[in-house]
Amino acid sequence: MKLSDHAQGAHSLHHLHQFESAEQQYESATLGMWAFIVQEILFFGGLFCAYTVYRNTYIEAFTAGSHHLDIFWGTLNTVVLIASSLTMAMAVRSAQTNSGPGRIIGWLIATIILGCTFLGVKAIEYTGKWHHHLIPNSTFQWNDPAFPTVTLGPAKIFYSFYFVMTGMHALHMIIGVGIMLWMIAKVRRNEISAQYFTPIEISGLYWHFVDIVWIFLFPLLYLIGRHH
């Protein structure tokens, strides 16, 4: 996608010497982020495939484990992340349309608040699992009368996947919050505006990707797993 003449002129103010043009710099930055997202897709895709294989091997255990996950918290976090994608998109749009640093920062702060809300909900869920001894370590305990045939080992495998997958996603969310704080600092230094919005635009791509990963994790762990 080529930049408009206006965008090319604006980006030229931040044209680095190693690029032939502002347009090439913009396309290189965007391509770099998409390359990063592709390798992240491969990473999470591997986890999804492994989860699918083990779920088909231990269907009863994965069904039982899924019943111990709170759909309310999972649904709430899904709504929170969808809202954060909207605020992130508005932050990018505000930068592109020169709406002023105040509006850009406002949308970024809203995105950070929603991201931290997501992490807070995950902390509540993790704390609950800790109190019920469902952390897959030496203290792991399993006793569900509703699933008398499920043994300790397979149940532990389910929770291992649960914590690895949601934990890696949470780590990406923490990194995303850090990136948003960095974007706020750049806006305050007048480094992001309609004159140069590439950093916030590619940061938005990262944020949207993290949100999309959760859109797959939520049904996979909380919904599909409840059915044989």
- Mean pLDDT, rounded, for 166-186: 96
Residue 19 is predicted with a pLDDT of: 54
**Would you say residue 10 has pLDDT above 70?**
no
Write the DSSP symbol of residue 4: P
Beta carbons of 51 and 161 less than 8 angstroms apart: yes
> What sign does the CA torsion over 141, 147, 152, 155 have?
negative
Residue 12 is predicted with a pLDDT of: 47
- Mean pLDDT, rounded, for 88-94: 96
Residue 21 is predicted with a pLDDT of: 58
- Mean pLDDT, rounded, for 19-46: 83
Q: Which residue has the tokens 């929170």?
A: 80
End-to-end CA distance of the chain: 45
**Would you say residue 28 has pLDDT above 90?**
no
**Would you say residue 186 has pLDDT above 50?**
yes
Question: What CATH number is given for 40-226 in this structure?
Answer: 1.20.120.80
> What sign does the CA torsion over 209, 118, 126, 63 have?
negative
Q: What is the CA radius of gyration of the chain?
A: 21
Residue 196 is predicted with a pLDDT of: 81
Which tens digit of pLDDT belongs to each residue from 48-74?
A: 999 999 999 999 999 999 999 999 999
For residue 144, how many other CB atoms are within 10 A of its CB? Answer: 12
**Would you say residue 127 has pLDDT above 90?**
yes
**Would you say residue 155 has pLDDT above 80?**
yes
**Would you say residue 29 has pLDDT above 80?**
no
pLDDT > 70 fraction of the chain, expressed in percent and rounded: 88
Q: Where are the domains of the chain?
A: 40-226
Reference 43, options 219, 167, 165; nearest CA is: 165
